Chains A and B, each alone.
Chain A
C-alpha cells in the first residue's frame, strides 16, 4: 500500500485513526507491517502490500 492511503483508511470497528508500523517497504510502497487503532488497539496486518482491514471475526485465524 501507498503511505498516502493513511489519509482515507481508519479502524473498521470504531472509525478512529490508525498508526502505521512498517516492517518492509519499497520506496513509498509499504509491503508488510501493521496498522494499529489508536483508540481500541486492534492490530491489522499489511500482507504482500495489501492492508487487511477485515474485522477480526472475519479473518481466518479467528475462532468461529
Chain B
C-alpha cells in the first residue's frame, strides 16, 4: 500500500536504500557541468543526497558540504563514500534545518518530484531560497513529462502524479510516489517561489533549473 506522505516517502527509501544506492553509482553529467562551472564555495548543500554521489562532487569545490536526506538507510550508504568535508544530516526537504543565507552552492536533484503534494513541493523551493546566500546558486531537477517512458504531452500546463515500482533483488516491488512535472509547471513553481530563475533546460527527460536567491523581495 502506497503511503502518500513525506514520512511514507522516507519509509520507502529506508526499505530500498541499500539496493537503490548500488544502482546509483555515478554522478549525472548535468550535475557535473553545473558544479564544474561554479566558483569555489564555502558551504555547499546536496539536498536529497541519496548515496552521496553528488556530495562528493561538491566536496571538490566547497570547503564544507552538507549532505541531507530523509532516509537513514541512504545516509548510511553515503557515509561509506564521502570524505571528511561532508557532513551528513537527516532532514526533510520541505522543512530544512538550516539557517537563512548559509549555502553558497546547492544541488537539489531528483528529489523534488518525490514530495507528495504541490504545497510540499512549493514549500521546499521556498526553503531552498531561504537557505541560499544572496549570491548563492543552485541546480534543481525533476522528472518531466518529456521523458520517453511517459506517454504524456510535454507541452501540457500540468504534470501528473504516478507511482513507479522499485523491484528489490528478491523480486518484491516497492511503489514509489512521483509527481511528473510538465516543464511549464516546473517553471511556474520556481517563478512562484522565492527562487530567481536563471536558466531552464530539458535534458534526458528531466527539467533542470539554475536558480539563485537574489532579485526577489520576500
Q: Which residues of A contact B (CB under 8 A)?
A: 1-2, 5, 7-13, 15, 44, 49-55, 57-59, 62, 64
Q: Which range contains the number of B residues in contact with the other chain?
A: 20 to 34
* Interface residue ranges of B65-123 to A (CB < 8 Å): 66, 70, 72, 75, 79, 87-92, 95-100, 102
User: Are the CB atoms of A53 and B87 closer together than 8 Å?
Assistant: no
Residues of A contacting B70 in the complex (Cβ-Cβ under 8 angstroms): 54, 58
Residues of B contacting A57 in the complex (Cβ-Cβ under 8 angstroms): 7
| Chain A at the B interface: SS class | loop
| Chain B at the A interface: SS class | mixed
User: Are the CB atoms of B88 and A12 closer together than 8 Å?
Assistant: no
Q: Which residues of B contact A (CB under 8 A)?
A: 6-7, 10, 43, 66, 70, 72, 75, 79, 87-92, 95-100, 102
Residues of A contacting B98 in the complex (Cβ-Cβ under 8 angstroms): 8-10
Are A12 and B96 also in contact (CB < 8 A) when A50-B72, A53-B90, A58-B6 are? yes
